[in-house]
Chain A
């Protein structure tokens, strides 16, 4: 143990687990990657050959891809609060890590990372020879500068909420020109995942002055040529990009990237996609249901589904009547006919949920039976809670989310036999977001996150002072749950972690404040000529290696 082993001590353990069938190959890859082993090395350990994309002969260079999206106002990348602008800017600037569609996190601008045994010290090593598109070389100073931006209160990045809990600006140490060490305040396993959170773009410390559009200097495959809010954005090929394509020449394959703002309505975007005027619709925030429905049988487009941990969460404020009574909450949860809801609200495109915020796609998911629809038991619970004549409740629903509306309608119908009179309060989506934490009963969309611990830490605990954390929309917290979660946050062994998650899931199912009827699929919907493009659960456009057939 004197000599510093290049491999994290837990990796051999993980390898045994893999051999013994305790974890799947995918989990092994994931965790090996988390611990700083490159994916190629890890997949060799896992006894499989890394699928090399050997398509060089077929690849065609050149061309322009057109994407319909919202061209929003952009100033500071760390302030991004919507995914659309990041899908433009992630082609210009890049992240330290990269979480792929299978939730495996890879090294990216950071060539590798190493975590200490106690998960409190992380060393990031940058890839050398990467250049910003203005010619400056990427160094540790840029990383430290960017991180300081994320953690600066005046900038107001959502990364502050995510990373501020375990990292202070003073905990960032520069080791040399290409190495940065992070000294965390408490153990954290999701550091590489957080480094791929969408506002975490690495900025050029020499030129960035708060407005990225004025000095669009990133390391990405494209450069920003035109950015006109609410109209269009044009990206041009960055000729000095650091990644090499399968044909041996630098990426990217395409010449340019064009984003067009066609307004919020889906119909014109669909028509434009059908006639080939655009190649893709950005579905990151609008959701793809309307587009999926319109185009699923269209032979001119490719519809690529992907399972996600994205859900419509039926949330009940536990500090407001009648939801302060767990029996009432349980009664409403039992009124969800999950199979029916998934089939009618989302065309069967997803997985049934369990009323705890852990998705079967998460590595630490502990298998549990899907709760059955049980109005009799719900009725009895309501009676016990003192509502023997039934209960009238208002359900806040954002009307532009059609699947949420349908979910609410089905729930209203299926909850009636139990004695619930659910009154739907529809409102424009923007209005729902104004009071999403305030309504007593509502349905809130939650986005995908690659690790099971991530959402639980965001939404179901109290802060150090005992107040609900900002996104704890139901004000629910449970001492046992918080303790177990804290334990899970510092546990790397998947098996042990899953055991903790069995308990966490059980607590949230029995006493929790939410119902999750289904986990949604996402789709990437593109024209036939777009090649080598994969859907991503978060709707990110990772188009470095995309090419267009003629």
Chain B
């Protein structure tokens, strides 16, 4: 068993790697322009270039994938010549700083042709600014360049002394002529395998901050639906399957089929129209505040009900079919002939075998419930993972998309593993070596 789980674990890693490469390549190849998605359709080519450079999107795709996986800070630290560190301010903003040998944190900004260092002593909380022009190093021709951390979490190569003259406005001083500016950007990140999926291009927030909230919301929604549906569907399926052709079987099968063939967007809209607009019993959309999703449980009712109706019929019919088949099999007939009591035949002999098929389906559906409930989320405006991934895909927001894909792979492989383990309990003949 241990060997089996270990093997599955390696399989998981390989799957994650392949999926991440595939998502990267598909996003790369799909049409769309991130700069225009974020900044609007009316940006100038210069704005677009500057945006792409600051986001690090001007790099070739293999470099970006590499940075996404392993991070860029260690490479950037070598350019700056000082170790870099990531801090979180009291207001929750992530900041990158270089660490001076004396322990003070330092960042730089350019004012005209002068390099100004902003340093902070984390222990005392004092910040100070000083001229740091001695960091300039001779570059090509008459130019001088310097690598440093800027105030927007990039490592930047500044240049001065080039032929390009720019006017820039310095707070407190006025307009200053300078002969250069930022030439190259490396956005700082730790990389996925070190637990940092990066910054969302769409929202500018760290993906990890948003995605776990979204995942939690989806888990709450799907979890409630799952807990409601599965026992109910299994029970009703068994009841229907035990007495094939009876009235209750017909009612359950036809009713179940009816709801599972109506697509969830239609069910959702009908429920909104009836329960929220007409009867006004429950809210027809989810509007969450600070304590989401607990502060308004009534908002969960319709999404959960929609999911329940869709799932119920499906699982019910599979359980029923499986039960019918098992009840017809020779060993059940033998059990009857042996004179065993009816309830014993059903629970001891039939149910365990009849559950094999539904368990497989249920486990596959866990994954579907996490990512695939996007339609229900969109209909109800529910801030879940599926909607987040949909929006990210529309925006070509690669960091968010990769992180979401990884979570889904983890779930898919994980639930499959759980299903495999459950099989061994249901049918002891199944062994994994």
Contact = CB atoms under 8 A, between A and B. Distances in A.
Q: Which of A156, A205, A210 has the most CB of B within 10 A?
A: A156
B381 A272 contact: yes
Interface string B194-231: 00000010111100001001000000000000000000
Interface stretch (B32-40, B73-81, B119-127): B32-40
B284 A265 contact: no
A209 interface: yes
A277 B283 contact: yes
B41 interface: yes
B356 interface: no
Interface string B42-53: 111011001000
B204 A68 contact: no
B169 A75 contact: no
B379 to A, nearest CB: 6
A66 B287 contact: yes
B383 interface: yes
A231 B285 contact: no
Given A228-B205, A470-B44, A471-B42, A148 B169 contact: yes
Contacts of B387: 263
A456 interface: no
B276 interface: yes
A347 interface: no
B295 interface: no
A262 interface: yes
Contacts of A468: none
A259 to B, nearest CB: 11
Given A228-B205, A230-B391, A433 B36 contact: yes
Interface in A172-217: 205-206, 208-211, 214
Contact of B91 (A209, A214, A258, A272): A214
B44 A169 contact: no
A229 B205 contact: yes
A230 B37 CA distance: 14
A148 B38 CA distance: 24
A434 interface: yes
B286 interface: yes
Nearest to A268: B381
Given A263-B378, A263-B381, A431-B31, A152 B288 contact: no
Contacts of B394: 430
B380 interface: yes
B36 A68 contact: no
Given A269-B381, A272-B285, A275-B284, A230 B39 contact: no
A389 interface: no
Interface string B234-262: 00000000000000000000000000000
B277 interface: yes
Most buried by A among B41, B171, B277: B41
A148 B277 contact: no
B277 to A, nearest CB: 6
A154 interface: yes
Contacts of B151: 209-210
A64 B288 CA distance: 14
A262 B287 contact: yes
Given A81-B40, A268-B380, A430-B37, A277 B169 contact: no
B277 A271 contact: yes
Interface string B321-335: 000000000000000
Contacts of B50: 154, 156
A80 B91 CA distance: 23
Interface in B88-102: 91, 93
A73 to B, nearest CB: 4
B151 to A, nearest CB: 7
A228 B287 CA distance: 15
Nearest to B51: A156
Interface string A206-242: 1011110010000000000000111110000000000
A95 B200 CA distance: 31
Contact of B39 (A79, A149, A154, A274): A79
Given A158-B42, A229-B204, A267-B379, A274 B289 contact: no
B184 to A, nearest CB: 16
Contacts of A214: 91, 93
Given A272-B285, A431-B31, A230 B42 contact: no
A96 interface: no
Nearest to A82: B40
B270 interface: no
B166 to A, nearest CB: 8
Interface in A41-77: 66, 68, 72-73, 75
Contacts of B166: 153-154
A181 to B, nearest CB: 16
A154 B169 CA distance: 10
B207 to A, nearest CB: 11
Contact of B44 (A156, A258, A269, A430): A156
A388 B2 CA distance: 80
A277 B287 contact: yes
Nearest to A81: B40
A154 B168 contact: yes
Interface string A424-456: 000000110110100000000000000000000
Given A73-B202, A81-B39, A271-B277, A232 B91 contact: no
A284 interface: no
A145 interface: yes
Give me the 6 closest cross-chain CB pairs, A-B, nearest first. Answer: A268-B381, A81-B40, A433-B41, A271-B284, A229-B203, A262-B381
6 contacts: A211-B152, A230-B388, A262-B381, A268-B378, A431-B31, A470-B44
Given A271-B283, A274-B277, 12 more contacts: A81-B43, A153-B166, A229-B202, A229-B204, A230-B200, A230-B210, A261-B383, A267-B379, A272-B287, A274-B276, A277-B283, A434-B36
